[in-house]
Amino acid sequence: MTASATCCAIQGIAGVPVTVEADQSNGLPGFTVVGLTDRAIQEAKVRVKAAVQNSGFGFPTRKLTVNLAPAELPKEGTGFDLAIAMAVLRCGGHDLPRLDGTALLGELALDGGLRPVAGVLPMARSLRAAGVRRLVVPGGNAAEACLVEGLEVVAPGTLRACVEHLDGTAPLAPAAPGPPPEEAPSGFDLADIRGQPTAKRALEIAAAGGHNLLMVGPPGSGKSMLARALASLLPDLGVEASLEVAAVYSLRGALRDRPAASLRPPFRSPHHSISRAGLVGGGAGLAQPGEISLAHRGILFLDELCEFSRAHLEALRQPLEERVITVTRVRGAVQFPASITLVAAANPCPCGHHQDPTRLCTCEPRALAAYRARLSGPVRDRIDLVVRVPRQPYRRLFDASLEEPSAAVRLRVEAARDHQRERLPDQREPPLNALLAPRGLVGSCLPTRAATRLLAAAGERLGLSARGFHRVLRVARTIADLAGDERVGEDALAEALRHRGEPGL
């Protein structure tokens, strides 16, 4: 006798529906699970048998074989437990008529309880696209599963409650989406930061167009505060974009750090001692998303940029250009989203006081050269805005009368983004200027004749690469959008070129 149930495996950030097939046949009693599974799924044999028996059901006493199809797809994790148990119960003769159009996800405890698993949101999205109408998940996963429209979500607490719901003995009410989370204001407010008008202007440009930013200055000048204040300038995400972000966090089991229904852009700030796999993704078995993917649709802040190893920084090249990161492992290659705004802060030298008028730099030339060599030319060329953040006079720290709050700047940022949406209304992706393709770049910018002459002269003098040329134009387009100008003029282009200058790093 055979029976089946539906669950889901993860491949990158997408789910792949999996059919759990159970077969009971003559032979010595045994329990075999096949289908390119990992150790966690092999151990499911113990969990499933104990959970079935401790829930008051009989476990088949003949030879039992379970196959997870498609068999060529690598599978890992404990989320298959519940579907395996249901297939085994049906194979043993238990009548469960409501499994058509139903998928089951969850880990089983030995006493029959259901435990949450990682990756439920991307799996729920993929199952819904495949035609699944009902999804059974543990209670700890109900909130994220309810974010998928058109899917009836049921969250029993135990295996017995799940069986009684499916056979109609004790139906459960569908889980309902919870109230939207009350989120605290993100980061610092610009009004909390004294002075630094040039850096604040760069923050506004970066927020409006999604441009990468590097701040260079001595220790304690406010670089980290400025980076965290950038989060307060970003508009909320759309529903689809927020689901993309939540799906990445669900894969990492990190929804405790960020509510699944949050509309705020993420802000990630990994320490410079992070591993390469932790930054770009990877790990043992099937690859997991790294910090760069957790910052998707938001900000990746690298403090003390030159303390990161060169290999880590070179790994940023592809995602900064292509907005995705491809991680290749023995068990296959997967692709994770990585559409980020990179914000970096660095000291000008190891001691932090190079060209500081108030402190003497003690770095030897060889140490200074090695420090700066960690930021290669190709990575530096992918940064749109570079600003110096000097130390502020002490008297300036007591004067807050002229500081503009983040709320006022955010209004200008939202207006600039409205201009970008009007210019490219048919794009599915948020039409940020940082994402403008080279082919239509000049047509989107419409530079004046004076601006064209200035860019040609500056490109020759500064030795701009073709990438640098495009990035200057994109920044100038954002500056013009902030000013409400239809065309990129000479003033906007001159400001973009100033931010392309060399800050001493």
Q: Which 3 state secondary structure label does DSSP give 359? A: coil
Residues 131 and 45 in one domain: yes
Domain boundary among 151, 166, 181: 166
Residues 407 and 440 in one domain: no
Domain boundary among 389, 421, 453: 421
Nearest-CA neighbor of 164 among 89, 66, 70? Answer: 89
- In one letter, which amino acid is 471? R
Residues 219 and 162 in one domain: no
Q: Which pLDDT value is given to residue 254?
A: 82
Tens-binned pLDDT, residue by residue, of the chain (505 aa): 788 999 999 988 889 999 999 998 888 888 999 999 989 999 999 999 999 999 999 888 889 999 999 999 989 999 999 999 999 998 887 877 778 889 999 999 999 999 999 999 999 999 999 999 999 999 999 999 999 998 999 999 999 999 999 988 898 999 988 776 666 666 688 888 888 889 999 999 999 999 999 999 998 888 999 999 999 999 999 888 999 999 999 988 888 888 888 889 999 999 999 999 899 988 766 778 999 999 999 999 999 999 999 999 999 998 999 999 988 776 677 889 999 999 999 998 888 888 787 788 888 889 888 888 888 889 998 999 999 998 877 666 666 667 788 899 999 999 999 999 888 776 656 678 998 888 878 888 888 999 989 988 888 888 888 888 899 999 999 999 999 999 999 999 999 999 986 655 6
Q: Which residue pairs, CB below 8 angstroms and at least 24 apart, start in 469-472?
A: 470/438, 470/441, 471/211, 471/381, 471/382, 471/384, 471/500, 472/496, 472/497, 472/500
Cα angle 7, 12, 16 (rounded to 5 degrees) comes to 25
Measured from the Cβ of residue 468, the count of other Cβ atoms closer than 10 Å reads 18
Q: Which pLDDT value is given to residue 87?
A: 92
Residues 94 and 40 in one domain: yes
Residue with tokens 């701009």: 464
Q: Which pLDDT value is given to residue 502?
A: 61
Cβ pair 237, 230 in contact under 8 A: no
Residues 45 and 111 in one domain: yes
Residue 176 belongs to some domain of the structure: no
Cα angle 8, 109, 85 (rounded to 5 degrees) comes to 50
Overall domain count for the chain: 3
Query: What token pair was written down for 292?
Result: 């760069």
How far apart CA 480 and CA 503 sit, in angstroms, is 24
How far apart CA 263 and CA 243 sit, in angstroms, is 9
Residue 383 belongs to some domain of the structure: yes
Nearest-CA neighbor of 435 among 344, 326, 318, 320? Answer: 320
Residues 290 and 215 in one domain: yes
Query: What's the CATH code of the domain at 488?
Result: 1.10.8
Residues 411 and 492 in one domain: no
Structural domain containing residue 484:
436-505
Cβ pair 384, 213 in contact under 8 A: yes
Residue 71 belongs to some domain of the structure: yes
Residues 229 and 143 in one domain: no
Q: Which pLDDT value is given to residue 60?
A: 86
Q: Which pLDDT value is given to residue 362?
A: 86
